[in-house]
Amino acid sequence: MVDTRVSLAGVALQNPVIPASGTFGFGYEFAALYDINILGSLVLKGTTREARFGNPTPRIAECSSGLLNAVGLQNPGIDAVIANELPRLRACYGGPIIANISGFSIDEYTACCEKIDRQAQVALIEVNISCPNVHGGGMSFGTDAKSAAAVTAAVKAVTTKPVFVKLTPNVTDIAEIARACEAAGADGISMINTLFGMRIDLKTRRPVLANRMGGYSGPAALPVALRMVYQVYEAVKIPIMGMGGIASAEDVLEMMLAGATAVQVGAANLVEPFACRDIIRELPACMERYGVTKLSEITGGAH
C-alpha cells in the first residue's frame, strides 16, 4: 500500500495534487463534475483589492503544445471572495484552501492578505508577484529581488498563516529571487508562473491576443519548470509548490524529484476538466511502477 500524503509548511495534504489558480475557478464549479474532496488542496482564482473585469477579448490563444492567456486577473475583489466565494466552496469542499493574492502595489498586497488571513477556511496564502508594480514603472515585482523581498516582508508582517510566493520564470536568475523571498520571511515558493509569449494571426497580420502578449502554459513548459524548481531547491530551504506543464502522474513524480513538495496542475484543467481527478487516481499505480512507497520521501530525490 503506497502513501500519497505530504505536508506543506505544516499543512497536511492527502496527496500533492492541487489545481492551480486561474484554472479551476473558485473550486465549486468543478464540484458538479466530480467529488473535489479527493484533491490535496486547491488554489482560489487570483484575487485583488477591487473587482476586475480583466483584459479585452480575445484573451486566450491556443498553441500546439499549450495555450496563451491574457485574462487580466478577472475577479470580484477580496470582499466579495470572502463574503460569497469562500462559503460556496466550503459547502462542497472540506480540505485545505489556498488563497491567491495579486496586487499592483505593496499596500494592495498587504490589505488583501490581512483580510484573507483572518478566514478560518484558508490554510495557506499564495502571493503572486508577477503583477506590474504601478509605483515602480510597471516592472513586475517578481523580476527584481529587492521588490520581491519587499512584498514578502510586508505580507508576512500582517499574516499568521504560511505564505508561498509565486515566482515568474521571466527572469535571468530565479534562484536569486527565491533566496530574497526566503530571507524576507517566505514560508515557501510557488513556481513557475507562465512564460511570456505571443501568437500572430497570419490572415490579419496582427497579434491574436487583444493584449498582444500573454502567459504561455502547457506541456511544453514542463522542462523549463523542472529546471527552475531543481535550481531553487538547491538555493533555499523552504518548500516548493512546483507547476508548469503537469498533466500526468509521471509528471508529478518528476516534479517532486526535482524538488517540489506538492504540485499544481494548471493548463491541463482547461483542456480536460477531469485532469486532477485522473492524475490522483493514477498516482498509486504510478508510484508502485517506479518503486515509490512513500511520496513525501522523494522530494529532491534527483539531487
Question: Which positions are annotated as active-site residues?
Answer: 131
Residue pointed to by grid coordinates 502513501: 3
Cα 69 from chain centre: 15
CB-based contacts of 163: which residues, under 8 Å, 6+ apart?
113, 124, 125, 126, 127, 152, 155, 156, 185, 186, 187, 188
Whole-angstrom distance, CA of residue 199 vs CA of residue 219:
17
Strand, helix or coil for residue 150: helix
Decide: helix, strand or coil at residue 155: helix
Q: What is the DSSP letter of 44?
A: P
Q: How far apart are CA 151 and CA 181, in angstroms?
A: 9
